[in-house]
Amino acid sequence: MALRCGLFICFLLWGGMELCYSQPLWQGGSPPVVVECLEAQLVVTVSKDLFGTGKLIRPADLTLGPGECEPLVSMDSNDVVRFEVGLHECGNSLQVTEDALVYSTFLLHNPRPVGNLSILRTNRVEVPIECRFPRSGNVSSHAILPTWVPFRTTVFSEEKLFFSLYLMEENWSSKKRSPTFQLGDIAHLQAEVHTGSHVPLRLFVDHCVATLTPNWNTSPYHTIVDFHGCLVDGLSESSSAFKAPRPGPETLQFTVDVFHFANDSRNMIYITCHLKVTSAYQVPDQLNKACSFSKSSNSWSPVEGAADICHCCNKGSCGIPGRSKRLVGQWPESASRSRRHVTEEADVTVGPLIFLGKAGDHGVEGSTSSLTSVMLGLGLVMVVSLTLATVVLGLAKWRQVAFHPVM
C-alpha cells in the first residue's frame, strides 16, 4: 500500500510554537508524522504504524535529512519513533525569504530486507518537512526580558503601534456617548496604545494642549500637560489629575476640569496630546512620567516610580535643558521622527468638547423665567381689574342718568 502523504509545514508563532501537521492529503485519523519547530531544534515524531495498515515499521529503516540522522533509541513497546536534531544538523537546508527563515529537510523510510529474506512489505517513502521562522520577532517561547537591546530594536523597527485618546464616562467603564459638558463638569480622558504582539510597553502623555480648532498649532491655547508628563492644569483652580493606579501599562487615564476660553464666543474646544511609549520594564524617569499636583499636600506625585522624578515639575524644566518649555508648535524633536514600520510616539486629538453653559445658568434662567411669568400674570390681573372697574362705573352712571332724568 502506498503512503498518501503531504507536505509537513511548521510555523513558529510569536512567543510560542505550533505543532506541524499533515495536509489533508493524509487520509485517516491523527497524522503519522508530527513536527515541532523549536528555537534551535527540530523534533520529529513518527508513528510506527506509518502506513495506517497495522503493520509496524522498524526504527532502523527511518533516517532524517541528507545526513541520514538516526532516531533516538526507543523501546519495542513504544508506538512512536522520535528524532531530536539541531536545525543546522543532518544536512538541513536554509532558505532566507523576505519575511521568513525556511529550514527544509525530509524524513526517509527506506525499508531493508530482514535477515536472509529478499522481500519487502512496505514502500520507500520520502516525506518533505519545512520549518518557517518569521524574520521579525522573537523565536523563543520563553518570557522576554528587556536586557537584549538588539531584540527590542528589531521589534520596534518591525511593529506598528496604534495610539488613541477617548472621552470616557465618569466611571471609566465605556466611551462617553455625548461630547457635551457644562462648565464645572469634569472630563474623563483615556489614552491607549494598542501593541498587538509587541513586547510589553508603558504609555505616557508627554504634552497636551487645548485649542479652539483641531489644529493644535493655533492661538489661543491652554497647556494641560507639559514638561514630559506634568499635569500643570492641576496647578490652577482645578482638580485635574492622572488616575492611579493604571488599568494597565498600555493605558493612562486623567481628568480635566472643563473650561472655556475667555473673550471667545465659541462653545467648544479640542484637546491634542503627544503620546509616547517606553519598555514596560524601564523605570520611569524625568522624561517618562505621569505626575499630578496635590493642593492638599502642595506637592507633585507620580502614578508610578520614585517621587523625585516629579520634582522638576516645580522648576518647569525636566530632562534635557531647553526642550521642556515648549509653546504650541514646538513638540519634541523626536515627535516628527519616523521609522520604516513604527510610530513610537504620536499626536492624537479628541474633540470637540461642547459646552452647554455654566452649571448654574439653567437655575438662574429658570428663576428669572418664573419671576417674569409671575410679574406678567400680576400685570394682566391688574389690567383686567381696572378694565372691569371702568366698565362697572360706566354702567352705574348710565343707570343713574336713565332713571333720574334732568328737569
The tens digit of pLDDT for each residue in 368-392 reads 444 445 455 655 656 566 666 666 6
> In this model, does residue 309 exceed pLDDT 90?
yes
Nearest partner of 268 among 380, 204, 353, judged by Cα? 353
> In this model, does residue 345 exceed pLDDT 60?
yes
Query: Looking at residue 195, what is its pLDDT?
Result: 76
Region of residue 301 (phi > 0: left; psi between -120 and 50: alpha; otherwise: beta)? beta
Query: Looking at residue 305, what is its pLDDT?
Result: 94
Q: In what order do the strands lie in the sheet with 33-37?
A: 33-37, 41-47, 80-86
Residue type present at position 201: L
Range 115-148 burial, b when 16+ CB lie within 10 A, else e:
eeeeeeebeebebebbbbbeeebbbbeeebeeee
Q: With beta carbons less than 8 A apart as the criterion, state whether 220 and 269 touch.
A: no
75's grid cell: 523501546
The tens digit of pLDDT for each residue in 213-262 reads 998 888 999 999 999 999 999 998 889 999 999 999 999 999 999 988 88
Q: Which of 48-52, 179-183, 254-258 has the highest mean pLDDT?
A: 254-258
Residues 6+ apart with CB under 8 A from 48: 56, 57, 59, 78, 79, 80, 81
**Terminal CA-CA length for the chain:** 150
More confident residue, 190 or 31: 190
Query: Looking at residue 387, what is its pLDDT?
Result: 66
Query: Looking at residue 57, what is its pLDDT?
Result: 86
Residues 6+ apart with CB under 8 A from 383: none
**Largest distance between two CA atoms of the chain:** 171
- The angle subtended at Cα 177 by Cα 176 and Cα 178, nearest 5°, is 95
The tens digit of pLDDT for each residue in 351-372 reads 899 888 544 444 434 444 444 4
Query: Looking at residue 404, what is its pLDDT?
Result: 53
More confident residue, 387 or 130: 130
Helix (H), strand (E) at residue 397: helix 361-403
pLDDT bin (cut points 50, 70, 90) of residue 397 is low
pLDDT bin (cut points 50, 70, 90) of residue 285 is very high
The tens digit of pLDDT for each residue in 318-339 reads 975 433 334 334 444 433 333 3
Query: Looking at residue 190, what is its pLDDT?
Result: 97
Residue 180 is classified by DSSP as E
Q: In Å, what is the CA distance from 317 to each residue of 212, 230, 367? A: 27, 10, 49
174's grid cell: 465605556
Which residue matches cell numbers 491607549? 192
Residue 72 is classified by DSSP as P
Percent of the chain with pLDDT over 90: 37
Q: With beta carbons less than 8 A apart as the criterion, state whether 344 and 152 touch.
A: no
Query: Looking at residue 370, what is its pLDDT?
Result: 47
